[in-house]
Every structure is written in structure tokens, then in C-alpha cells.
Amino acid sequence: MVQQILNTFLKFLFFGPTREIVLHQTMMVSIVLELLSDKNPNIRVLVNAILDYVQIHDDSWKQEIKAKRFTVHNQVYMQFMQDYDEKYPLEGPEDEM
């Protein structure tokens, strides 16, 4: 079901008038960004195709898409570092005295 909706969304992006409406008057790009970390590989491939197409046609989404892709790509590492920092906090200069 999700894959069918994403496929329809991708088709909307092919035509200028519907592309402008979808990109600027809906929350579809934000929803697609959330699906970037979906477990289904077919969904991820379709999401990446949509986001690539959005980046080509709308500069206002480029930075947000780039940041989200970075976060998803490095999610395991970032979680590990956060857990490490919580387990072994750095001592500040005040703690040394």
C-alpha cells in the first residue's frame, strides 16, 4: 500500500502543475523523508528516487534532504556515540578540583 502511494506521488512530480502543488502545498516531502529509514528495501529505493527528483526541481528542500540522509546513514554510529557519552560522561574543569 505504501509503495503504491509513493509511486503515485512520484508520478505527480513528473508534471509541472502537480509538482508545484505537491511540493509547496502538501506535507508529502516531509512524509517521504520519514520513510527514508523504512525497513522495506523497495520503499527505500522509491523514497530515494523521489527525494532525488525533489532535489532536482526544488532547491528549498536540498539542505533538509541532505541532513536527513546524513542522519539516517549515520544513525547507528550516532546512537552508539550518544550511549557512550551517557555511560562515560566527560569530566568538566570544575570536577577536577
pLDDT digit string (tens) for the chain, length 97 residues: 899 999 999 999 999 999 999 999 999 999 999 999 889 999 999 999 999 999 999 888 999 999 998 888 888 788 888 899 999 988 765 555 5
pLDDT at 27: 93
Q: Are 31 and 64 in contact (CB under 8 A)?
A: no
pLDDT at 94: 59
How is 39-91 classified by DSSP, letter by letter? S-HHHHHHHHHHHHHHHHH-GGGHHHHHHHHHHHHTHHHHHHHHHHHHHSPPP
Each domain of the chain, given as residue ranges in start order, spans 2-89
CA distances (Å), origin 33, targets 73, 77, 80 = 13, 20, 23
Q: What is the pTM assigned to this prediction?
A: 0.74
